[in-house]
């Protein structure tokens, strides 16, 4: 993951419902809108635009405190079109999602390591 840029602030705060962000993965990118927010336990979003193109129906990231820290459940539902290009885009979209998760995991592991060694 190369970064995230806020394109539009939310209705009531910079990172509230209505916020539009671009997630940069290099040749792959996503533009997501926050559509629901229940701090600190839930974040609902919808991908409004992406490369490669696909239709995103809904996404939720839920957080639950557990003895070891925080358990994160990430659910995302999308469909690809019927053309051969659209069908080829689905595996690319799945790979992009996997890359996002791995980048987040690496970043969190590095932050945890820094926090526990200082």
Task: Specify the pLDDT at position 18.
Answer: 96
Contact 21, 11 (CB under 8 A): no
Task: For 77-89, write each residue's pLDDT tens digit.
Answer: 877 666 565 666 6
| Whole-number Å distance between alpha carbons of 118 and 116 | 6
CATH topology of domain 3-117: Alpha-D-Glucose-1,6-Bisphosphate; Chain A, domain 4 (3.30.530)
Given a cut of 80, is residue 91 above it in pLDDT?
A: no
Look at residue 87 in the predicted model and tell me its pLDDT.
63
Say if residues 31 and 54 touch (Cβ distance below 8 Å). Answer: no
Provide the total of helices (H) and of strands (E) in the chain, helices listed first. Answer: 1, 6
DSSP 81-99: -SSHHHHHHHHHHHHHHHH
In the predicted model, what is the mean pLDDT of residues 42-56?
A: 88
Share of the chain above pLDDT 90, in %: 41
pTM above 0.85, yes or no: no
pLDDT tens per residue, range 7-32? 999 999 988 999 999 988 878 888 99
């Amino acid at each position: 993951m190369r970064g995230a840029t806020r394109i539009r602030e939310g209705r009531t705060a910079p990172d509230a419902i209505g916020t539009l962000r671009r997630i940069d993965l290099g040749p792959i990118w996503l533009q997501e809108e926050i559509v629901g927010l229940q701090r600190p336990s839930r974040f609902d979003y919808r991908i409004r635009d992406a490369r490669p193109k696909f239709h995103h129906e809904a996404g939720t990231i839920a957080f639950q405190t557990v003895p070891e820290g925080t358990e994160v459940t990430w659910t995302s539902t999308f469909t690809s079109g019927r053309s051969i290009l659209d069908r080829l885009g689905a595996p690319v979209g799945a790979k992009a999602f996997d890359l996002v998760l791995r980048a987040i995991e690496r970043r969190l592991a590095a932050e945890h390591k820094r926090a526990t060694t200082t």
